[in-house]
Copies of this chain bind each other. A is one copy, B any other.
């Protein structure tokens, strides 16, 4: 994936959105990931480092090396790391050209990356090369087809469909979460295990209404509005109707559901 091909873009707004998402979902997505002291861990595709502080905090004695293809994202990640005092090392490189010898890492962590790649199995294979036999890969991805909400809205579904289509046109797959199990097995990983993590939001959880429904999911869909409209997928009016319907689900009687998938697999010994 080139920098250009990243469907969500590299704006400041998007960087903030990713931070809100990480803060809201920390426990749900990362709470049960911690690496033993002394282990060497590769975070592949760290982006602006939204999730890196959680990974480092949960694994105080591990050495985390975070890499990303985008120099701009990596600069933001480093800035964040300095501000938050987290202990990762940062390196600008491509997953398909990792500057590490074979069998370097004890574990690999990949979050919201495979969804943007043209061939996620090739990426996993490239990662496995630098993973020690017996080491684990942890993969976290969303699945935009898992989103459903009340009130139901055909307009909002069309907006989400546009995001899925734009991501597909950029070579990615916004519906990748559901197929992590076959992907990891195709790459040759053993002991593949998938754990879905559903975010359920209703007005009894105002933090999630704000942090997830509004500022994570709806903000993400909103972020591709110009592309969807300018490419002729929808009219501006249709688009706005869908966005209004998504915000409507954040009201007192609304609900919102979305599922992330967390998969782990082991490199065969």
Residues of A within 8 A of B (CB): 143, 145-146, 148-150, 152, 175, 178-179, 181-182, 185-186, 192-196, 198, 200, 202-204, 253-255, 257, 259
Cβ–Cβ contact B255 & A182, under 8 A: yes
Cβ–Cβ contact B192 & A204, under 8 A: yes
Best-buried of A146, A181, A192, A198 by chain B (most CB within 10 Å):
A181
Q: Kindly report how many copies of this chain are found in the complex they form together.
A: 2
Residues of chain B within 8 A of A195, CB atoms compared: 200
Nearest to A200 among chain B residues (CB) is: B196
Cβ–Cβ contact A255 & B204, under 8 A: no
Q: Tell me the complex Cα distance, A19–B192, Å.
A: 30
Cβ–Cβ contact A194 & B198, under 8 A: no
Nearest to A145 among chain B residues (CB) is: B148
Cβ–Cβ contact A146 & B148, under 8 A: yes
Cβ–Cβ contact A202 & B175, under 8 A: no
